[in-house]
Amino acid sequence: MEILLTRHGQTEWNVLGKVQGRADIELNKKGVEQAEETSRALESENIDLIICSPLKRAKQTADIINKNRNIPIVYDEDIIERDFGEFEGMRKEEFDFNGYWSYKQNYYYEKAENIRNLFERVYKFLNRLKEEYPDKSILIVTHGGISIPVNCYFNGIPEDDNLLKLALKNCQVTKYGCK
């Protein structure tokens, strides 16, 4: 199985530095342009299936990438963005954003999704993909927060616990192979 992973295009909340977990924000103009660029960059890729987060920003990105290709799209709750709970819509400077993304510190919150629960959800999703689609090439359209545990699944958790350096930028694509 081969996985191509991309993050949705830019939103206004990205520009404002606000965290957007489950907030259903649409792409802005630049986000649409980024998705169009990614579509062109992926034209030569053989993609059997697109699996997409059900949030608007990811769905719009997947639809733009899939324009003129007619690849089946499956929406999967397991790759919806991390639930930011009480931090939703806040700027990264308004709370301990680095601590929030610390696997070692493993903080629990009143409403926000715990980091290890996020990793468990994404790892189960990837294990399921390996079972269901062993010989397929899959494009996953998701979120920056989901790109972190996907990277760790294939490459391990960094010793320095700096997970934020692993997050994909808007419409950045990376490739992983599984056996």
Task: Render pLDDT for 5-32 as a digit per residue (tens, 0 to 9).
Answer: 999 999 999 999 999 999 999 999 999 9
Architecture of the domain made up of 2-177: 3-Layer(aba) Sandwich (3.40)
Consecutive H or E run containing 168: none
pLDDT of residue 167: 97
Can you list the pairs that 10-15 forms with residues at least 24 positions away whose Cβ atoms lie under 8 Å?
Answer: 10/34, 10/170, 10/171, 11/57, 13/89, 14/170
Structure confidence at residue 179 (pLDDT): 61
**pLDDT single digits (tens) 40-58:** 999 999 999 999 999 999 9
Q: What pLDDT is attached to residue 136?
A: 96
For the chain, which residues make up each domain, given as ranges?
2-177
Q: Which pLDDT score is estimated for 177?
A: 87
Per-residue three-class SS string for 78-125: HHCCCCCHHHCCCEHHHCCHHHHCCCCCCCCCCCCCCHHHHHHHHHHH
Q: What pLDDT, on a 0 to 100 scale, did the predictor assign at position 176?
A: 96
12 is catalytic: no
Check 37, 77, 81, 120 and give the catalytic one. 81
Question: Would you state the pLDDT for residue 151?
Answer: 98
Residue-level pLDDT at 35: 98
Instruction: State the catalytic residue, choosing from 8, 86, 93, 143.
Output: 8
Other Cβ atoms less than 10 A from the Cβ of 50: the count is 22
143 catalytic? Reply is no
- Ranges of the chain with pLDDT below 70: 179
